[in-house]
Amino acid sequence: MADSQQLGAIRRFFRWLLSPSARWSVLALLLVGGLAGAVSVIGTQVAVALTGSDNFCGNACHSHASFVYPEHKESGHYANRTGVRAMCNDCHVPHNYPVKLFYKAKAGITDAIAEARGVISTQEKFDKERWRLANIVWDEMRGNNSANCRTCHDPEAMKTSKQSEDAVKQHKKFASGKATCIDCHTGVAHKEPEEPKPAEKAAAPK
Ligand code: HEC
Ligand code: HEC
Ligand code: HEC
């Protein structure tokens, strides 16, 4: 009995939801809808900005604050002659919408779970996982032709007369599509991890 009463209530609720409004004017409904839309768009933007800040990416997670951020601070991408700085977000998160939002949602969930489980909570665990994590980043960058590097470094804007002979020679390879930035420039913001030796690899837990 109770079940059919409940079903009846649900049905009535949906009928009410789908029926045209007798009380509210179309203008009022449009305003409420517009307001709800604006709140969610602005809310998303604020969340993207807050979770993309240098402080959040570098310090919110113990693993970032202890291992990757200190290394980044030693690199030329953190402080250099001209004072142009590349931060976590610049290199690691897509810049184009809506891809950025999907990427952040997915990375946010997997990273938060891994952080809570303490996957890289100690130096020892981090050293063990580092090769695997670096490879995820490298694969991503190879997959998108190092798009994030290119938001700052434009080969068209490179003055070859100011570059070393070696750079100019090697750089012909990306013009011909044979290589992308990350194929040659790893370890540009962190210490480059070394591939574990086969014995360590076998011993590492899957
Ligand atoms: C936010 C802008 C920005 C982004 C994104 C960026 N860079 Fe840089 N990069 C710079 C600046 C500025 C310098 C100059 C630093 C200096 O004067 O020493 C630099 C320097 C370099 C250098 C030469 C000196 C060094 O530190 O080794 C290389 C190589 C390089 N970047 C590669 C990369 C690669 C590869 C990526 C992508 C993973 C990347 N950059 C992403 C701004 C950026
Ligand atoms: C095939 C290998 C290769 C590829 C691909 C490559 N580079 Fe380089 N790059 C080099 C070499 C070699 C140097 C010279 C390093 C040196 O002189 O210490 C260099 C130097 C640089 C420098 C420093 C220039 C200077 O004189 O200070 C920057 C910045 C740079 N590369 C950015 C990039 C970016 C951005 C990409 C992708 C668009 C890229 N490179 C792709 C090999 C490569
Ligand atoms: C100039 C580009 C650049 C910047 C800035 C940068 N990273 Fe990275 N990051 C990379 C690259 C490239 C790799 C892949 C490994 C390598 O080549 O060093 C990487 C790897 C990582 C890894 C995997 C572990 C490892 O060390 O390989 C983590 C975690 C990470 N970055 C977090 C951060 C955080 C947090 C920040 C900001 C504090 C940051 N990165 C800033 C380019 C960057």
Question: Do 148 and 91 contact (CB within 8 A), yes or no?
Answer: yes
Ligand 2 atom with minimal separation from the 152 CA: 35
State yes or no: cis peptide before 70, omega within 30 of 0: no
Q: Is 60 in the pocket of ligand 3 (CB under 6 A)?
A: no
Query: What does the pLDDT read at residue 83?
Result: 96
Task: Provide the 3-class DSSP secondary structure of residue 1.
Answer: coil
**Positive or negative, the Cα torsion across 29, 33, 39, 42?**
negative
Q: What residues line ligand 1, using a CB cutoff of 6 Å?
A: 76-77, 80-82, 84, 86, 90-91, 146, 148-149, 151-153, 181-182, 185, 188
How many Å lie between the centroid of ligand 1 and the Cα of residue 77?
Answer: 6
The CATH-assigned architecture of domain 25-203 is Orthogonal Bundle (1.10)
Q: What is the pLDDT of residues 126-156, one digit of tens each?
A: 999 999 999 999 999 999 999 999 999 999 9
In this structure, what token pair is assigned to residue 62? Answer: 């113990």
State yes or no: cis peptide before 98, omega within 30 of 0: yes
Ligand nearest to the CA of 81: 1
In this structure, what token pair is assigned to residue 103? Answer: 């990427």
Q: What is the pLDDT of residues 162-196, one digit of tens each?
A: 999 999 999 998 888 889 999 999 999 999 999 98
Q: What is the mean pLDDT of the chain?
A: 90
Question: Do 206 and 119 contact (CB within 8 A), yes or no?
Answer: no
Domain ranges of the chain: 25-203
Residue found under tokens 């946010």? 108
- pTM, two decimal places: 0.88
Q: Is 12 in the pocket of ligand 2 (CB under 6 A)?
A: no
